[in-house]
Amino acid sequence: TTYSYKFLGLSLSASREGAWYKSAFGRGTIIGVLDTGVWPESPSFNDRGMPAVPKKWRGICQEGQNFNSSNCNRKLIGARFFTKGHRVATYTPDGGREYVSPRDSHGHGTHTSSTAGGATVPMASVLGNAAGVAQGMAPGAHIAVYKVCWLNGCYSSDILAAMDVAIRDGVDILSLSLGGFPIPLFDDNIAIGSFRAVEHGILVVCAAGNNGPIQSSVANEAPWITTIGASTLDRRFPGIVQMGNGKYLYGESLYPGNHLKRAGKELELVYVTSENSGSEYCFKGSLPRAKVRGKIVVCDRGVNGRAEKGEVVKEAGGAAMILANTVINQEENSIDVHVLPATLIGFKESVRLKAYINSTRRPTARIVFGGTVIGKSRAPAVAQFSARGPSYSNPSILKPDVIAPGVNIIAAWPQNLGPTGLPEDSRRVNFTIMSGTSMACPHGSGIAALIRSAHPKWSPAAIKSAVMTTAEVVDHSGKPIMDGDKPAGVFAIGAGHVNPERAIDPGLIYDIRPEDYVMHLCTLGYTKSEILTITHRNVSCREVLKMNRGFSLNYPSISVIFKHGTRSKMIKRRVTNVGSPNSIYKVEVMAPKEVNVRVKPQRLIFTHINQSLSYKVWFTSRKRTEKGKMSFAQGQLTWVNSNNSFNRVKSPFSVTW
């Protein structure tokens, strides 16, 4: 990416300090990416300066259509494709449009894998916008690509096959920017495959899904998965609309304004709403040429693709497009490359624009393109589309775990597609812009790879703990991370926004062994057969719970549920010292007014590294459960190193009545 690593504080410094240096840029770590494949010729997969392939690697570079074994190198060390599930389910094969090989026909996999571990590429940009040095989060890490997603979707039989092989190949991190809706863990193939991966010491990082801001929309929510939501950057691409009445509307655009004179010219404005043909959404064939030719066409967002609307306007003879958010999208600003001059405006602006159109017989406008602006806006904020908790199948675990950049991310792009991804777009670029929790996920995987390189013996749970307990709940201006026009809650941001610099050196970690997850499933009341399905372990929960009375999963965040008249709940946690041998940590609690929180002990005194100490937290409700009404509160519990305030180990908690 050309900017998100800087936004996250990852940089090359003259003093050779910081997370990249402490982790050797992720060298020696292998990130397995399950996605739409890879475009190996992209400069992001150049292996200049990369170390040799790790000895433990047992993967292959699978040959196929337009892909041979020489397409792999010391950066892209493995590539496979899995098509059997897809092939038998797709009755009308899309002949010719898709490479039957690890080669990426779609672009998504090239984008995500380069975001996680892409090499350094100077002078990257999207048509001149967002120019800079492109790098993945772990530019020294090796990448192994497992193509499981095809134009028709990603079948769980193929995903499971890829996970099966990736475990044997020897990946350290698995990155899955895919999923569905939340489903019970015993029906969730990703959850089941991930449990085995974690048993093999592999950290599984997944996208939370894009069904936000709907409550309980978070997917990939198993406790052993690291679930990543999406945040915004402080980078903007102004594409301001100057209406004929002289007033301005803020919009954003990636159109290279200096290339087309029409972009800056005042033109007639049209919003076609009649005909009952979806013309307000600019559906294919819905725009009468006579009405839109030479004009700026307003298209409502939704139903069909955003870039596709631009192509429809262009085909109908329109000169430019204003893409207008609807009430569903609010002020969400995921922008795209378009085939004509275009800008995206928020919902409030779209109401003002339509009011202006209705106020005059001949509405006009011009779009003024403002290039790339960095650092002028508040960020990170929660992406509107980012899936939200509480977890549908398991509310006792707070999900998503963290958020990471996922809006307007510029990363590698294949040469078989234009920057819009549309078949009609004949332009060719090495980078393009995309938004989604798919883009947030590889930021998390790349950061996990850095931690893995810095601490090769840490368990997947320890790496996840480091990412979570060091995450930020304030934005770059020091104010709370926002979710629209209000401060974000824990069900939007989890533990907060990833901070790689602090995650490399967390001070304390919450470790979890695979058997702890089994006990956790027992405490949730899962049946013997369900636990066998999820974990492949034949356990007697009665025996397990008898030997572990009062067990709480040692999760880095806390979810307290008061139900059936319960007013008090005790939670146990155990932290392990991974910082200085002699460290004293004091607890700080931020409790909501509805809950009394008591922690014992108040201080943890460590005398050596890897020493584990336990503490207990009592949550006492000050209010009664209201029948038929669900309510939430939140707070945080932080262990602060008395000698070194850099080590602040923070756990968010949610309370549900």
Partner 1 sequence: SSSSTTTYIVQLNPQGVTSSSFASKPSWHLSFLQQTMSSEEDASSRLLYSYHSAMEGFAAQLSELELESLKMLPDVISIRPDHRLQIH
Helices (H), 341-436: 347-359
Among 536, 542, 608, 623, interactor with partner 1 by CB under 8 A: 536
Q: How far is the CB of 148 from partner 1 (least distance, A)?
A: 9
Give the 3-state secondary structure of residue 232: coil
**String marking each residue 342-381 x if it binds partner 1 according to CB under 8 A:** ----------------------------------------
CA 221 from chain center: how many Å?
13
Nearer to partner 1, 393 or 583 (CB): 393
**String marking each residue 514-533 x if it binds partner 1 according to CB under 8 A:** ---------------x--xx
**398: number of Cβ within 10 Å:** 29
Report yes or no: 320 and 267 within 8 Å, Cβ to Cβ. Answer: yes
> Can residue 108 be called a binding residue for partner 1 (CB under 8 A)?
yes
Nearer to partner 1, 185 or 381 (CB): 185
Give the pairing of strands 409-412 and 267-270.
Answer: unpaired
Nearer to partner 1, 324 or 439 (CB): 439
Report yes or no: 168 and 146 within 8 Å, Cβ to Cβ. Answer: no
Nearer to partner 1, 435 or 552 (CB): 435
Q: How far is the CB of 125 from partner 1 (least distance, A)?
A: 24
Give the 3-state secondary structure of residue 123: strand
Evaluated on CA atoms 541, 546, 547, 551, the torsion sign reads positive
> Can residue 391 be called a binding residue for partner 1 (CB under 8 A)?
no
Backbone angles phi, psi at 108, to 5 degrees: -60, -45
- Count CA atoms within 13 Å of residue 123 on its CB side: 0
- Which residue carries 């305030």 as its tokens? 645
**String marking each residue 19-58 x if it binds partner 1 according to CB under 8 A:** ----------------xx----------------------
Task: Pick out residues in 419-438 that bind partner 1 (CB under 8 A).
Answer: 436-438
Among 31, 207, 367, 381, interactor with partner 1 by CB under 8 A: 207
Q: How far is the CB of 560 from partner 1 (least distance, A)?
A: 29
Q: How far is the CB of 12 from partner 1 (least distance, A)?
A: 31
Question: E strands of 75-117, at which residues?
Answer: 76-81
DSSP state of 489: P
Give the 3-state secondary structure of residue 3: coil
Report yes or no: 408 and 334 within 8 Å, Cβ to Cβ. Answer: yes
Q: How far is the CB of 140 from partner 1 (least distance, A)?
A: 26
Nearer to partner 1, 90 or 644 (CB): 90
Q: How far is the CB of 91 from partner 1 (least distance, A)?
A: 9
C-alpha span between 550 and 68 (Å, rounded): 55
**String marking each residue 174-203 x if it binds partner 1 according to CB under 8 A:** ---xxxx-----xx-xx-xx--xx--x---
Among 61, 154, 205, 493, interactor with partner 1 by CB under 8 A: 154
Candidates 386, 331, 633; CA nearest to 497 is 386
Does a cis peptide bond (omega within 30 degrees of 0) precede residue 400? Answer: yes
Element (H, E) at 144: strand 142-147
Q: How far is the CB of 149 from partner 1 (least distance, A)?
A: 5
> Can residue 441 be called a binding residue for partner 1 (CB under 8 A)?
yes
Size of the site for partner 1 (CB under 8 A): 49
Nearer to partner 1, 23 or 535 (CB): 535
C-alpha span between 36 and 572 (Å, rounded): 42
Backbone angles phi, psi at 651, to 5 degrees: -120, 120
Nearer to partner 1, 161 or 263 (CB): 161
Nearer to partner 1, 64 or 257 (CB): 64
Nearer to partner 1, 342 or 441 (CB): 441
Nearer to partner 1, 200 or 574 (CB): 200
Does a cis peptide bond (omega within 30 degrees of 0) precede residue 581? Answer: no
Among 10, 121, 138, 161, interactor with partner 1 by CB under 8 A: 161
The helix-helix angle for 460-469 and 437-454 (nearest 10°) equals 110
> Can residue 73 be called a binding residue for partner 1 (CB under 8 A)?
no
Q: How far is the CB of 59 from partner 1 (least distance, A)?
A: 13
> Can residue 496 be called a binding residue for partner 1 (CB under 8 A)?
no
Q: How far is the CB of 163 from partner 1 (least distance, A)?
A: 4
Length of the chain: 657
CA distance readout (Å), 304 to 57, 153, 301, 407, 507: 42, 17, 8, 19, 48
Beta-carbon contacts of 29 under 8 Å, excluding residues fewer than 6 positions away, are 138, 141, 142, 172, 173, 449, 450, 452, 453
CA 313 from chain center: how many Å?
31
Catalytic residues, which ones?
35, 108, 438
CA 635 from chain center: how many Å?
24
Stretch that binds partner 1, among 62-70, 161-169, 358-366, 493-501 (CB under 8 A): 161-169
C-alpha span between 493 and 440 (Å, rounded): 12
Q: How far apart are the first and last CA of the chain?
A: 42
Q: How far is the CB of 535 from partner 1 (least distance, A)?
A: 10
Among 20, 155, 224, 585, interactor with partner 1 by CB under 8 A: 155
C-alpha span between 277 and 257 (Å, rounded): 31
For residues 12, 14, 20, 23, the Cα torsion angle rounded to the nearest 10 degrees is 160
> Can residue 335 be called a binding residue for partner 1 (CB under 8 A)?
no
Report yes or no: 334 and 208 within 8 Å, Cβ to Cβ. Answer: no
Q: How far is the CB of 533 from partner 1 (least distance, A)?
A: 4
Nearer to partner 1, 161 or 524 (CB): 161
> Can residue 159 be called a binding residue for partner 1 (CB under 8 A)?
yes
Among 58, 68, 88, 328, interactor with partner 1 by CB under 8 A: 88
Nearer to partner 1, 150 or 555 (CB): 150
> Can residue 163 be called a binding residue for partner 1 (CB under 8 A)?
yes
Contact residues toward partner 1 (CB under 8 A) are 35-36, 84-85, 88-89, 106, 108, 149, 152-157, 159-161, 163-165, 167-168, 177-180, 186-187, 189-190, 192-193, 196-197, 200, 207-210, 436-438, 441, 529, 532-533, 536, 538
